Structure 1
Amino acid sequence: MIKCDILIIGSGIAAMQLARNLSADLHVIIITKGKWQNSNSFMAQGGVAAAVSSDDSWELHFKDTIEAGENFHNDSEVMKLVQIAPEMIKNLQNTGVRFDCYKNGNLSLGKEGAHSRNRILHCGGDATGKHIMEQFHLNLPQNVELIEGQFVYELLLDQNKNRCIGVKTRDRKGEKHIYRAGGTVLAAGGIGGLYPFTSNDHTIAGDGLALAYKAGVKITDAEFIQFHPTLLYVNGCTHGLISEAVRGEGAILVNDQGEPIMQGVHPLKDLAPRHIVAEQIFKERLAGRDVFLDISMIADFPDKFPTITDSCLKNGIDIEAGKIPVAPGSHFFMGGIKIDPHGRSSLEGLYSIGESACSGVHGANRLASNSLLEGLVYGKRLAEYLNHNRKECESAHKLSPISYQDIVIPVLPEKAVIQQKMMENAGIIREGRKLKTFIQWIESYGVLEIIKSDLDALPIQQIETIFMLISAHIIAVSSLSREESRGGHIRADFPNSRKEWESRHIINSIHGMEIGGENNESYQIEIHA
């Protein structure tokens, strides 16, 4: 058994920001499923949104965020996020991060969907995440231990079963490890791998969501999933993201007849909010038409977008031809573990930040390039909270006795089958009848009983499949319950948003479902210290 003060699950920007801001006298361990680079943060092409130009303001950034997320936010948290954004940029620069600038030394600010100003700071053209994460990794404090290649499959609870005191993991050889911690932080990313097409790293498949749910933690807003409109699409498969910054430079979406597909759909056309663009591409493809990103008007494309250019070349796409084949894919999870403004979950001793968490800053649809910003802000905020609340992380708690139900695990479906069914039933466009059938299919594998069972004896691959089914069930049930269309949740049988649902949040746990009240109130967590 290994003991530490703070245990962080995940190695993305929120996890690294937290680790580097914790007090130097705390023993901190980061555990990651793959390599430390296996995070969506490392892959982030776009950049960090912040109102740093003379013609911009936090008020405009706030307005754009609220409009993109269809007025479904914790407004006070959004306000704090956009107000502190310029400070986060200065902090990164002081850390050694060098944002792209023009020859005159001024910051090169890009524009992405639903932004009213150029406010996206980027590094290396389209390699922002890589630059920031490498700088963070290079400067990790000496009190932080990084452990790669261990899969967390259970949260440990104390004898009263109301506090998280650590985790169980399996390494690449299948050997079990136990970690005891004063505070455990889930920063394990989103749910992209639940779908066949995704911009996410191959290790991201909803593990954090399933872990928390199995331990009785509250999950909220799970129906809201953002599908990025433009993933490189070749021979029936997707091969990474084509950043929205490309459309910010003037590229437009066209079908195989050369017709612009966003004309007349939205006033912002190709820079409309992501769920609107993704839905339009989905409809074109459903009608049998291929969709391309016309980049012919962008001068020096390889210099501006080296990562995308390299990806296109590797997959046989001729950049000089001026068209990149694209398809939408799962990109970002607006829902997640329900947290308060400090990052505390509904389970004592368990915290969550980044894409694993739902803080209310993204509403029903995330504004482009607000995700890295969220990781920076909440990582630093949680560090400050833990630094000043040491007693909350005391680890003198006894383990809960094992009291799992004995259960026979059935033959489980292949991961590819789960992914395809997720896309068909809980993908870009949903419908009540299909969601009900899908939920029944998941439950036919005994997922509701498996949640209560001991997974110790199972191989990693089987646990991963179980976690996929748990996460899929949470999303499908939430999607069925929200009888409207809003942001990343589109119901064919309820095509319009409904005023009465504007302040309702669907909250799931193994103890049942509840509907939260007003937006700001729904994110407040009652902690029993």
Structure 2
Amino acid sequence: MIYDDVLIIGSGAAALQLAKHLNEEKHVRIITKSNVENANSYLAQGGIAAAIGRTDHPEKHLQDTLEAGENHNRESTVKKIVHEAPGIINELLQQGCNLDRNEQGNLLLGMEGAHSEKRIVHGGGDRTGKNLVEFLLASLKTNIIIDEDVFVYELIIDQENNRCIGAKGKGADGTIKSFFAEHIVIATGGCGELYEYSSNALTVTGDGIAMAYLAGAEITDMEFIQFHPTVLYIDGRTRGLVSEAVRGEGAILVTGDGIPIMEGIHPLKDLAPRHIVSQTNYSYINKGIQVFLDITGIKDFEVRFPSITALCEIYGITPANGRIPVVPGSHFLMGGIKTNINGQTSIKGLFAIGEAACTGMHGANRLASNSLLEGLFQGRKLAQSINATKNKSAAPFVQQRGIPLITPPIELPEIEKIQCSMMANAGIVRTKEMLEKQLKWLRNFNGYKNGGLDSFSAEELTKIFMCITAELIVLAALVRTESRGGHFRSDYPRENNNDWYKKQIIHKLKGETQLEQTKAAATT
């Protein structure tokens, strides 16, 4: 049995920021199912949004965030985060994080879609995530242990006190370990790899959300999936992200004949909110028309975007030719484990930060470059709260009992089949018929019993968690009979503020209730 003060599941920017800010007397363990570089944070090409320009102000940042989020945001949370954003950037600078500057030594500020000002701070051009993660890793103190290649698959719950006290994980050799701590933090990211077209790291399969759901935590806003308009597309597969910043610098989406696809669609054209650009791009893809990102208007593209240039060249695309083939791909989950601004979930002792959490910051659609900002804010905020608590000397003894669990049939679906069916039926465009078809298909693999997950392999657990998280998305998308932000239903193509304004769909597994019987209820 292993006992720490803080157990962090995941190793992205939010997790590392939390670990960095915890007091040295805290014993901290970070567990990641792969390695610290195999995460969305490390891959992030975009930057960190902060209102630090001379003509900018946090209130402008607030309004842009609310507008992009279709006013589904929790405004008090947005206000707090955007007002602290300049201080977060200043802290990074003071501590030696390498952020891009101009010849005069001032921070370079970029423009991205749906922002009214240049306010995107980058590090290393389009290598912001890599630079940030490496900086945070280098800042960790000796009280922090990182365990790589450990697949955490079950939260340990003190049922009597409704408190999370630990988690179970499997090593690469299948060895099971139990980890206990006073504070359990889920920072496992979203669920981008549920979809055929995705910009996400291969490890981002919704594990943390599924685990929290099975443990009884509230899950919300799962219908809101952001599809990035420009994911590199070669030989029928997505190969990586082409940053929003490319369009911010003047690139436009065109057909093979050079026709701009965003002309007349939105006043901001190619810098319109992501769901609008993605839906437009998808409409062309559905007709069999390949869409390209025309970068001929960007000077010194290879210097400005070295990571994208290298990615293109790996797959035989020469940026100097001026066009990059793209499709819209699953990029970010606005929903997740329901938390307050401090990361507290509906279960005592269990916290969630980063993309796995839903604080209400992003509403129905995330404003570009607000995700790294939110993760950095959450990590620091939760650290302040944990630092104010006293350390425990020993792990509590709890008589554990089984939790409801999905039992795989003889053969679970292949991951590729899950991804293709989700893209086709619960992706960028949805209808009642498509969603019901997907729900029926997912439930072919859902059997239930009481017991542990110990006997399943990491591959089986991944499929189980993908099916659970996928079902939460489909159920929420069926219930919300309107279109808002990242949730678009062609049978309900407009917002319905009479029935749905500021309302959330919350999933919660209660006691022995089976997943297939769980009802999603809209609550204010």
The answer, yes or no, to whether TM exceeds 0.5 is yes
Task: Pick the TM interval, shorter chain.
Answer: over 0.9
How is 1:126-525 mapped onto 2 (pairs within 5 angstroms)? Answer: 126-160=126-160, 162-390=162-390, 396-403=395-402, 409-410=408-409, 411-447=411-447, 449=448, 452-499=450-497, 500-511=499-510, 512-513=518-519, 515=521, 517-518=523-524
Name the Cα RMSD after superposition.
1.5
Deviations 1:385-443 (A, max 9, x none): 1111337x786532233345798630211111011111011100111111112111111
Cα offset, 1:468, TM superposition: 0.6
Does the CA-based 8 Å contact 2:18-2:379 persist in structure 1? yes
Query: What code does the residue aligned with 1:482 have?
Result: R
Q: Which residue of 1 aligns with 2:84?
A: 84
Gap runs ≥5 in structure 1: 519-529
Does the CA-based 8 Å contact 2:218-2:506 persist in structure 1? yes
Determine the C-alpha separation between the residues in 1 that align with 2:66 and 2:408. Answer: 44
Does the CA-based 8 Å contact 1:156-1:400 persist in structure 2? no
Cα offset, 1:479, TM superposition: 0.6
Q: Secondary structure at the match of 2:117?
A: coil
Name the stretch that deviates more: 151-160 or 75-84. 151-160
Does the CA-based 8 Å contact 1:160-1:400 persist in structure 2? no
Determine the C-alpha separation between the residues in 2 that align with 1:323 and 1:40. Answer: 25
Determine the C-alpha separation between the residues in 1 that align with 2:278 and 2:139. Answer: 38
How is 1:37-76 mapped onto 2 (pairs within 5 angstroms)? Answer: 37-76=37-76
Cα offset, 1:135, TM superposition: 0.7
Q: Secondary structure at the match of 2:160?
A: coil
Does the CA-based 8 Å contact 2:192-2:198 persist in structure 1? yes
Q: Which residue of 2 aligns with 1:522?
A: none
Aligned length: 515
Determine the C-alpha separation between the residues in 2 that align with 1:25 and 1:405. Answer: 37
Determine the C-alpha separation between the residues in 1 that align with 2:190 and 2:352. Answer: 12
Does the CA-based 8 Å contact 2:506-2:523 persist in structure 1? no
Determine the C-alpha separation between the residues in 1 that align with 2:170 and 2:336. Answer: 24
Deviations 1:336-370 (A, max 9, x none): 00001211000111000000000000000000000
Q: Which residue of 2 aligns with 1:13?
A: 13
| % same residue | 49
Q: Which residue of 2 aligns with 1:521?
A: none
Does the CA-based 8 Å contact 1:210-1:471 persist in structure 2? yes
Does the CA-based 8 Å contact 1:221-1:334 persist in structure 2? yes
Determine the C-alpha separation between the residues in 1 that align with 2:405 and 2:373. Answer: 44
Q: Secondary structure at the match of 2:173?
A: coil
Determine the C-alpha separation between the residues in 1 that align with 2:501 and 2:393. Answer: 40
Q: Secondary structure at the match of 1:468?
A: helix
Does the CA-based 8 Å contact 1:158-1:398 persist in structure 2? no
Gap runs ≥5 in structure 2: 511-517
Change (3 A) 1:104 1:403: closer
Determine the C-alpha separation between the residues in 2 that align with 1:75 and 1:307. Answer: 35
Change (3 A) 1:501 1:405: closer
Does the CA-based 8 Å contact 1:161-1:400 persist in structure 2? no
Determine the C-alpha separation between the residues in 2 that align with 1:113 and 1:124. Answer: 20
Cα offset, 1:156, TM superposition: 0.5
Determine the C-alpha separation between the residues in 2 that align with 1:45 and 1:395. Answer: 42
Change (3 A) 1:446 1:131: same
Does the CA-based 8 Å contact 1:341-1:359 persist in structure 2? yes
Q: Secondary structure at the match of 2:445?
A: coil
Cα offset, 1:160, TM superposition: 1.6
Determine the C-alpha separation between the residues in 1 that align with 2:259 and 2:86. Answer: 40
Change (3 A) 1:404 1:313: closer
**TM-score, length of structure 2 as denominator length:** 0.96
Change (3 A) 1:407 1:5: closer
Determine the C-alpha separation between the residues in 1 that align with 2:451 and 2:419. Answer: 24
Determine the C-alpha separation between the residues in 1 that align with 2:451 and 2:489. Answer: 34
Determine the C-alpha separation between the residues in 2 that align with 1:474 and 1:405. Answer: 16
Does the CA-based 8 Å contact 1:220-1:335 persist in structure 2? yes
Change (3 A) 1:34 1:162: same
Cα offset, 1:381, TM superposition: 0.4
Deviations 1:179-231 (A, max 9, x none): 01111000000001111111111111000111101111100000001000000
Deviations 1:68-90 (A, max 9, x none): 01000110000001100000001
Query: What code does the residue aligned with 1:386 have?
Result: I
Change (3 A) 1:428 1:405: closer
Determine the C-alpha separation between the residues in 1 that align with 2:471 and 2:380. Answer: 32
Q: Secondary structure at the match of 1:210?
A: helix
Cα offset, 1:316, TM superposition: 0.4
Determine the C-alpha separation between the residues in 2 that align with 1:383 and 1:108. Answer: 29
Does the CA-based 8 Å contact 2:293-2:325 persist in structure 1? yes
Change (3 A) 1:404 1:129: closer
Change (3 A) 1:369 1:462: same
Determine the C-alpha separation between the residues in 1 that align with 2:490 and 2:133. Answer: 40
Cα offset, 1:289, TM superposition: 0.7
Query: What code does the residue aligned with 1:402 have?
Result: R
Cα offset, 1:295, TM superposition: 0.4
Cα offset, 1:287, TM superposition: 1.2
Determine the C-alpha separation between the residues in 1 that align with 2:237 and 2:159. Answer: 48
Query: What code does the residue aligned with 2:472 have?
Result: I
Change (3 A) 1:368 1:464: same
Does the CA-based 8 Å contact 1:13-1:41 persist in structure 2? yes
